[in-house]
Amino acid sequence: VQLQASGGGLVQAGGSLRLSCAASTRSHYVMGWFRQAPGKEREFVAAISGTGHITNYADSVKGRFTISRDIRKNTVYLQMTVLKSEDTAVYYCAADSSSWVRSPLSKGTYGTGTDWGQGTQVTVSS
């Protein structure tokens, strides 16, 4: 599946931003968001099941970020609030065709079968 991420930008600390990830086909893939800051490894942010009923978040974003999906639009969203400077990174959306219990995304990681979008830059100024 091809993924197209959008919605990044520059925002002040404490502000909000919503990222979108449009998938090329209608599917019930497990989908998620990862981010990578300069000089750091790619890290898990959030994941959502194919039906949208189950979610998982990194501890660092719990209570501030919300992942959701609109199956009719083949789109996954990441609503980010109370942004901090440490949230600055390139954000990547990801998709996995496995079931939720089998998907590495549900466990906060990725695998060789994970599909990636092109990334969108989020910069939080303090």
Chain mean pLDDT for the chain = 96
Distance, CA of 113 to chain centre:
17
pLDDT in tens, 87-115: 999 999 999 999 999 999 999 999 999 99
Dihedral Cα 123, 56, 117, 100, nearest 10 deg = 180
Q: How confident is the model at residue 122 (pLDDT cuts 50, 70, 90)?
A: very high
What is the pLDDT at residue 26?
81
pLDDT in tens, 61-86: 999 999 999 999 999 999 999 999 99
Please spell the DSSP secondary structure of 45-68, one letter per residue: EEEE-TTS--EEE-TTTTTTEEEE
pLDDT in tens, 4-14: 999 999 999 99
Spatial separation of the C-alpha atoms in residues 88 and 2, rounded to whole Å: 25
Does the pLDDT of residue 27 top 90, yes or no? no
